[in-house]
Structure 1
């Protein structure tokens, strides 16, 4: 899985940062991807990313209904009608997302040329099964109802023991694919080769946690538990905890505290207040590494491999 930060600012866009949107891309699934939030201008951010084609967008997960996380969604969904090959798309979000979109589409007389499904997540905790991964959504602590999402890949098939297969007389070919899919193969001499005979143990899938706006809370810790990559807001600098609490946000120190407590491997902080320039954020992160060493500042266009960290910075 690859994480691409499309917007990393809070509240309103600046010359350096657009408002919130994150793409989660699945290169092994022909670069299909999901969006987490879609602040104003998100489709403009996508225009410069050839690997993020709207025809390959399968789902949008909205954390909450504040405008800096939502106002770009109607335009993006409408533009997708002009993209050849755009299939069904599902939008997940808190109660109210359906009325929001349907109201705008009705007022604008929008007619989409693809199937749009809207799923409102009303429970404190919801689990979704996407086949190749599992998604857990839980409520966070913000001024309005807000969700965080934990995406857990299914275990990966173990590697084939090619030397053993060669000794058995099975050269590379379609049978290798059958074995990796869990199917047995019969050789010419009648010998049956079972997947368990030639496959290493499965490896755990990667886990990425993407949180919406939140003050420190138990569900943020639960969603981030042992994640390979945790994305947490850091609207304010350390020392402004009282101000952060008043608005339902976190400081960078509090985000690092959640990552430390949850034993996440890496932390990406984002959603920076417009008061902070790039140099301010750099200094904030350097200071925060005394709390959690593997913390990195997001910026528009940054890419992360969920397992290994930065691709570019």
Structure 2
């Protein structure tokens, strides 16, 4: 699992930051890539990465402001040119389907794959398969805005090779079946239940992505125990009044969420163009006084999200 920032700016693109888009790469887990918001020129940013548009299967839109959705029509069109792009699902507030369909219709663009739309209207579960679940909750912005919590389901425990040693199980398919928790029969007739030779299940990873919002209780609910929290940080701590006026958050607001909800790593995102160079680094310094494991996200930054170690490791 890997997270890559394709656009980390707020409002409008600047020389250093494109507008909002975050990619969650689940290539080892699902052979898929999920996008969170698709600001203008997202497809140009993708050209600077190893992301293949046909691998993008789900797009989660936080809200319908232009700096978060203007890149959608172009990306969907280009994805169609690849020819083998499969179905795609777009999750977003009411109006996102109308925006996409109108853009494609007016430009006489036809896509070669089906697009499913899921309207976000209530808090709760919006997607689930055997490996992941995605939850959403409404935030506090000038228009309906939603945060997202991606939860990886627990993984089977490690195969306890020391415990298996006395049975002299040969390398090969039998070990794989035992690791999958299946029952196998050895050549000497011994029956082994794989579940008896597995360690404790390993917790899955949690990624929370919060775009435009004032501080609100639902953020903490989405962020609780997250391995990674991506949180908007449009303003620095000294501009808290302006942040509140414009329905945004500061770097301090983001750090307080991380510090109080057992977050492992915080990435500051959605940075106003007023914070360039040293001013941008100041956001990180301010936030680190509240929560040490804070990084200022920059365009094209990419980070692996490792499985959290258990207490006995």
Report how far residue 308 of structure 1 moved: 7.5
Q: Give the Å deviation of 1:18.
A: 0.3
User: 1:291 Cα shift?
Assistant: 1.1
Query: 1:14-93 alignment to 2 at 5 Å?
Result: 14-29=14-29, 31-50=31-50, 52-93=51-92
8 Å contact kept, 1:214–1:248: yes
Which whole-Å deviations, capped at 9, do the CAs of 1:140-179 have from their partners, x for residues lacking one? 1111000100011111111112344343132121223323
Matched, 1:12 2:51: no
* Length-normalised TM-score, structure 2: 0.94
* Separation (CA, whole Å) in 2 of partners of 1:74 and 1:135: 24
Tell me, in whole angstroms, the C-alpha distance in 2 between the residues paired with 1:177 and 1:33.
27
> Structure 1: how far apart are the matches of 2:13 and 2:55?
26
Higher mean C-alpha deviation, range 183-192 or range 39-48: 183-192
Q: Say whether the 8 Å CA contact 2:254–2:287 is kept in structure 1.
A: no
Distance in 1 (alpha carbons) for counterparts of 2:262 and 2:107: 47
Separation (CA, whole Å) in 2 of partners of 1:131 and 1:122: 24
Provide Cα deviations, 1:268-311, integer angstroms capped at 9, x if missing partner.
001011111032111221122111111110000111222379xx
Number of aligned residue pairs: 308
Partner of 2:127: 128
Q: Deviations over 1:157-216 (max 9, x none)?
A: 111123443431321212233233332222222222112122111110011101121110
Superposed, 1:201-212 pairs within 5 Å as: 201-212=200-211
1:125, 1:139 within 8 Å by CA — same for their partners in 2? no
Residue pairs, 1:185-264, within 5 angstroms: 185-264=184-263
Counterpart in the other structure of 2:311 = none
User: 1:296 — aligned with what?
Assistant: 295
Whether the 8 Å contact between 2:136 and 2:146 is mirrored in structure 1 is yes
Structure 1 unaligned spans of 5+: none
Q: Is the 8 A contact 2:269 2:296 kept in 1?
A: yes
Q: Residue 308 and residue 9 in structure 1: after superposition, are their counterparts in 2 closer, same or farther (change >3 A)?
A: farther
2:268 is aligned to: 269
* 8 Å CA contact retained: 1:229, 1:307: no
User: Separation in 1 of the partners of 2:246 and 2:307?
Assistant: 33
What is the CA deviation profile of residues 51-92 of structure 1, one whole-angstrom value per residue up to 9, with x for unaligned ones?
A: x11121111111110011100011101111111421111111
Quote the RMSD (CA, aligned, Å). Answer: 1.6
